[in-house]
Structure 1
Amino acid sequence: MSSYLVSEHAVIPAEPQQLFDIVADPAMHPVIDGSGTVQATRSDGPQRLSLGAKFGMDMKMGAPYKIENTVVEFEDGRRIAWRHFNGHIWRYTFQPVDGGTEVTEQWDATHVWNRLLLRLAGFPSRNRAGIRGTLTRLGEVVAGDAR
């Protein structure tokens, strides 16, 4: 696997659609974010994501900044992905398995022009830790029904 594709998965005891609906709700992104960078949803975006939807987030990595995303993959209940301005993609897939749903989250920078800079800045390993944290938090939200 490429160092520009970071992928982690976890089995969460919930139905795929329930988990998908959480990820497709931009207001839940600050709640499930395991990296500590997603601060708030921008109010001008959709309440539920769909193919082609644009949504913004208030972020903080050292300094605060805003980012806009575009949903580039969407299969309700199965797969959702959005692209940042830089071209990298955040992707979630939901596969039913015994005991719940295998949720896979990926950070995909395989087609980004400045991949080397991202790697030198430590994003592959930083994102792996954030993804693991997000999968844990997603499971906690479902278990506690914190919505």
Structure 2
Amino acid sequence: MTGDGHATIVGRTVSASTTVAAPPEEVFALLANPHRHHEFDGSGTVRGAVSGPERLALGDRFGMSMKIKLPYRVTNRVVEFEPDRRIGWCHPARAVWRYELEPVPGGTRITETFDYGGSPMAKGMELLGFPKGNAKSIRDTLRRLREIFGAPQS
């Protein structure tokens, strides 16, 4: 998603990008705070953090209150971490949610990826339509991040 484009599904990854009018460190600060994830979640499933630090680091675990029809909790672990450039966490099904930040003139290019290639449940996720649903959630998340940080001036 460049601007308001679309998500792409390649293999077992779903990915899209947008550009916001904020520096990478400001965007990263939001992404690395699990207590604020509900502010930008486009899936509508994240209700709030139930455990975890205010700023994530590699190996940290954080619990989230979620709801897909019924409420539940999930514990994630940070598996990718490069300050102000990349953060990714993995849930128990071993799918990774990743955000990559690239400084660009006037702001930051954000690429969000759902990578379920390492999940033993990958085939089931495909049968249940997760890639298509995650593509919509990623588009909505990136739209929310643009609302939070603004669009760069042309």
State whether TM-score is above 0.5: yes
Counterpart CA distance in 1 for 2:90 and 2:76 is: 5
Q: Are 1:91 and 2:79 matched, yes or no?
A: no
Give 1:126's aligned amino acid: G
Q: Are 1:27 and 2:30 matched, yes or no?
A: no
Counterpart CA distance in 1 for 2:118 and 2:67 is: 25
Give 2:64's aligned amino acid: M
Give 1:27's aligned amino acid: H
Task: Name the Cα RMSD after superposition.
Answer: 1.1
Runs of 4+ in 1 over 3 A off after TM superposition: none
Aligned length: 142
Deviation at 1:98, TM superposition (A): 2.1
2:13 maps to which of 5, 24, 44: 5
Deviation at 1:29, TM superposition (A): 0.4
Give 2:62's aligned amino acid: F
Counterpart CA distance in 2 for 1:66 and 1:29 is: 14
Report % sequence identity. 43
CA contact (8 A) 1:2 1:110 kept: no
* CA deviations over 1:85-138 (Å, ceiling 9, x no partner): 000000000001123111000000011112110011111010111111111111
Instruction: Give the structure 1 partner of residue 85 of structure 2.
Output: 78
TM-score (norm 1): 0.93
Gaps of 5+ in 2: 1-8
Give 2:108's aligned amino acid: T
1:103 maps to which of 91, 110, 120: 110
Deviation at 1:70, TM superposition (A): 0.2
Partner secondary structure for residue 140 of structure 2? helix
CA contact (8 A) 2:36 2:48 kept: no
Q: Are 1:58 and 2:54 matched, yes or no?
A: no
Give 1:36's aligned amino acid: G
Counterpart CA distance in 2 for 1:9 and 1:82 is: 18
Give 2:135's aligned amino acid: R
